[in-house]
């Protein structure tokens, strides 16, 4: 028997189909509600709205579960490189040895920027935010790339490799331009994370030699950020993609959405918060009291999540990685100690317990990025590089959907009723 939900409205009953996902998530399909009843649904901030069916990433926020293409994040982290994870997310299965080799070669062959793209960097002011540069340059990239036939799977693989590879080159170039150093070419013999560190930190008179633990931690950071279902930036990418915009335009929009402090920008905000606590000499319980006070309009950055009402599994993995990395590199970062104290204080506080607020991915990631030597203004860029596979996969899912329609939500209008236009002298 068909599973339906009965809605009683204005004395009439309507049977709405219930859709079940592979993990038994249940959703009421309201797509015909307006045509049948004249009503729309209202869900400010989309907290309870499924915007699409997707086969890429599964999250159970109550249980703290995250899986890419069905595989638990705990099994992927530390075992698959970012490159392998990207292929898994975009193409739906773990790559075979041949897939890996082909994709690795595509990434290497596409790591350079078109020479004329370098001129664009000269046009940005010296203190331009790297997120602004990244978004602008991803769009610029589309003008410099020969068009590809996206209906052809092999060309799509090349397009994905180009974007993933060049985004890393652009990010490093944005940093170099911001510090007034010459851009560094990618190396043929380096893998993804190592090549990024080389382009970031090598200078003409000294080649940067990435430490194994730094490369490992960067890979882990990127893997943990690779996708996270219908978050703000990914929904933005899908929204843009639904108008049939190209992959570059859609992902550039994703960068802009990620920028804000409630989303990817939180990794910057966390470090700023930890620094503020350290410099002000405030103790952790005073800070916790401040974030509980609604008048202060201050959140505990790196805490809370729309979907997780339990530990964010990524934060658990990153906490351990931060401990391991700092120990291996003999770094004593006082911000890590403050973060640990803050977590402990928040997790035992009724305010956070009642609201089910736990540390999210951004809580410990900043400590790791600092230990790598990355400057604060690059933190959200790092998130963007990591999220690129998820954006590409979601773009592809929208693009491949034969029944896909343009995304176009409705609204409840609360503005002026019909109002008469007045000539200037009567206003
Ligand atoms: N500190 C203090 N109070 C909080 C926090 C926090 N970090 N997060 C939520 N709350 C309170 C919130 O004020 C509300 O209280 P009340 O019920 O008394 O009004 C309650 O908890 C429920 O929160 P909400 O605002 O309904 O949560 P949301 O789902 O709309 O927002 C969030 C989710 C992530 C934007 C929010 O938790 C937040 O602003 N956290 C800090 C920023 C942050 O760390 N963002 C990174 C998110 S994870 C990675 C990513 O998406 O990029």
The answer as to whether 157 is a domain residue is yes
Q: Mark whether 32 and 93 lie in a shared domain.
A: no
Distance from residue 73's CA to the centre of ligand 1 (Å): 23
pLDDT, one tens digit per residue, over 152-193 is 888 999 999 999 999 999 999 999 988 889 999 999 999 999
The answer as to whether 242 is a domain residue is yes
Q: Mark whether 225 and 100 lie in a shared domain.
A: yes
Distance from residue 217's CA to the centre of ligand 1 (Å): 27
Q: Kindly report the CATH number assigned to the domain that includes residue 362.
A: 1.10.230.10
The answer as to whether 387 is a domain residue is no
Which among 372, 387, 408 is the end of a domain?
372
Assess whether pLDDT exceeds 90 at residue 257.
yes
Q: Mark whether 39 and 175 lie in a shared domain.
A: no
The average pLDDT across 206-216 equals 92
Q: Mark whether 8 and 81 lie in a shared domain.
A: no
Q: Mark whether 104 and 215 lie in a shared domain.
A: yes
The answer as to whether 62 is a domain residue is no
Task: Name the closest-CA residue to atom 22, ligand 1.
Answer: 355
The answer as to whether 367 is a domain residue is yes
Q: Mark whether 230 and 147 lie in a shared domain.
A: yes
Q: Kindly report the CATH number assigned to the domain that includes residue 255.
A: 1.10.580.10
The answer as to whether 402 is a domain residue is no
Annotated catalytic residue: which of 225, 263, 305, 399? Answer: 305
pLDDT, one tens digit per residue, over 325-384 is 999 999 999 999 999 999 999 999 999 999 999 999 999 999 999 999 999 999 999 999
What DSSP letter does each residue of 191-255 carry, written as one string?
A: -HHHHHHHHHH-BTTB-----HHHHHHHHHHHHHTS--SS-HHHHHHHHHHTTT--HHHHHHHHH
Q: Mark whether 254 and 316 lie in a shared domain.
A: no
SS3 category, 119: helix
Provide residues with CB under 6 Å of ligand 1: 231, 262-264, 266, 291, 299-306, 355, 357, 360-362
The average pLDDT across 105-125 equals 91
Q: Mark whether 272 and 218 lie in a shared domain.
A: no
The average pLDDT across 11-31 equals 96
Known catalytic residue: 362? yes
Residue 1: its pLDDT value, please?
67
**SS3 of the chain: helix, strand, coil, percent, to 5:** 55, 5, 40
Annotated catalytic residue: which of 362, 399, 400, 401? Answer: 362
pLDDT, one tens digit per residue, over 64-93 is 999 999 999 999 998 999 999 999 999 999
Q: Domain residues for 316? A: 266-372
Distance from residue 243's CA to the centre of ligand 1 (Å): 31
Q: Kindly report the CATH number assigned to the domain that includes residue 40.
A: 2.20.28
The answer as to whether 419 is a domain residue is no
Assess whether pLDDT exceeds 70 at residue 258.
yes
What DSSP letter does each residue of 4-42 carry, written as one string?
A: EEEEEETTEEEEEEEEE-TT--EEE--TTHHHHHS----
Assess whether pLDDT exceeds 70 at residue 215.
yes
Q: Which of 122-131, 219-228, 322-331, 335-344 has the highest mean pLDDT?
A: 219-228
The answer as to whether 410 is a domain residue is no
Known catalytic residue: 227? no
Say if residues 352 and 299 touch (Cβ distance below 8 Å): no
Residue in 304, 312, 316, 357 to alter for ligand 1 test, most ligand atoms within 8 A of Cβ? 304
Q: Mark whether 242 and 113 lie in a shared domain.
A: yes
Closest atom of ligand 1 relative to the 294 alpha carbon: 13
Q: Describe the crossing of helices 97-109 and 153-179 by its angle, rounded to 10 degrees.
A: 50
Say if residues 218 and 226 touch (Cβ distance below 8 Å): no
Which among 356, 372, 388 is the end of a domain?
372
Which among 260, 294, 326 is the end of a domain?
260
Q: Mark whether 279 and 306 lie in a shared domain.
A: yes
Q: Mark whether 33 and 172 lie in a shared domain.
A: no
List of residues 6+ apart from 320 with CB closer than 8 A:
none
Structurally, the chain folds into a number of domains equal to 3
Task: Name the closest-CA residue to atom 8, ligand 1.
Answer: 304
Q: Mark whether 41 and 125 lie in a shared domain.
A: no
Closest atom of ligand 1 relative to the 270 alpha carbon: 44
């Amino acid at each position: 028997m068909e599973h339906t939900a009965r809605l009683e409205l204005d004395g009439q009953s309507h049977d709405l189909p219930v859709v079940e996902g592979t993990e038994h998530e249940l959703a009421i399909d309201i797509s015909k509600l307006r045509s049948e009843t004249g009503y729309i649904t209202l869900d400010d901030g989309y907290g309870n709205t499924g915007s699409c069916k997707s086969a890429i990433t599964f999250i159970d926020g109550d249980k703290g579960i995250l899986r890419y293409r069905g595989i638990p994040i705990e099994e992927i982290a530390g075992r698959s490189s970012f490159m392998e994870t990207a292929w898994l997310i975009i193409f739906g299965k773990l790559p075979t040895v041949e897939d890996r080799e082909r994709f690795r070669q595509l990434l290497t062959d596409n790591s350079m920027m078109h020479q004329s793209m370098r001129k664009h960097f000269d046009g940005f002011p010296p203190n331009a935010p790297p997120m602004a540069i990244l978004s602008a340059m991803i769009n610029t990239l589309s003008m410099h790339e020969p068009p590809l036939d996206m209906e052809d799977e092999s060309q799509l693989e090349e397009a994905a490799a180009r974007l993933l590879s060049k985004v890393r080159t652009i990010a490093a170039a944005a940093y170099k331009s911001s510090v007034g150093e010459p851009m560094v070419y990618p190396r043929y013999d380096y893998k993804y994370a190592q090549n990024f560190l080389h382009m970031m930190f090598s200078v003409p008179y000294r080649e940067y030699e990435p430490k194994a633990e730094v490369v490992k931690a960067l890979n882990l950071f990127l893997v943990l950020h690779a996708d996270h279902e219908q978050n703000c930036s990914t929904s933005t990418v899908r929204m843009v993609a639904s108008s049939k915009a190209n992959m570059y335009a859609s992902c550039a929009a994703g960068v802009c959405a990620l920028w804000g402090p409630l989303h990817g920008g939180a990794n910057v905000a966390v470090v700023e918060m930890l620094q503020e606590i350290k410099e002000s000499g405030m103790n952790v319980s005073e800070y916790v009291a401040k974030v509980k006070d609604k008048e202060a309009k201050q959140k505990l950055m790196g805490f809370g999540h729309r979907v997780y009402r339990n530990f964010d599994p990524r934060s658990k993995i990153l906490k351990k990685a931060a401990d391991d990395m700092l120990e291996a590199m003999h770094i004593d970062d006082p911000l890590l100690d403050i973060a640990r104290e803050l977590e402990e204080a928040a997790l035992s506080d009724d305010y956070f317990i009642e609201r089910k607020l736990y540390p999210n991915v951004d809580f410990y990631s900043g400590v790791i990025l600092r230990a790598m030597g990355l400057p604060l203004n690059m933190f959200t860029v790092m998130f963007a590089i990591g999220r690129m596979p998820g954006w590409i996969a979601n773009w592809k899912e929208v693009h491949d959907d034969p029944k896909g329609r343009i995304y176009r939500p409705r609204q409840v209008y609360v503005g002026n009723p019909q109002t008469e236009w007045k000539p200037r002298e009567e206003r």
